[in-house]
Amino acid sequence: MTDNTNFNSFQKQRNKEEMKRQLITFVLMIGFTIVAFAIVATGSMQKMFAVPLLLIMAVVQVGFQFYYFMHMKDKGHEFPSLMIYGGVWAAILTIAALVAIVWW
């Protein structure tokens, strides 16, 4: 009986920490979105600096989505992780090939 109580207590603590991480990540993603909107809406940055910054912020948000909201960091998600990373790799190769065709 005590083993089950200890396990439940451990599980509750683990769930609480996971929810805390997800909330922090959500707030950071909302912050990135607000900053990106402000950059575009105010036109305060030159396009040469704004576009790379927006792309970097987008990549960070995709990482947050994968690891925290799609649970890619958890055990047992190896196959979905492999498929998503394979899709990302295929997209990168496709974009690289199209850029190479257009520019050369």
Q: How far apart are CA 70 and CA 65, in angstroms?
A: 6
Q: What is the mean pLDDT of residues 21-28?
A: 88
| pLDDT tops 70 at residue 4 | no
pLDDT of amino acid 2: 55
Read off the pLDDT band of 98 (50, 70, 90): very high
pLDDT of amino acid 79: 85
What pLDDT, in 10s, does the model give residues 36-92? 999 999 988 898 999 999 999 998 888 888 887 777 777 887 888 888 889 989 999
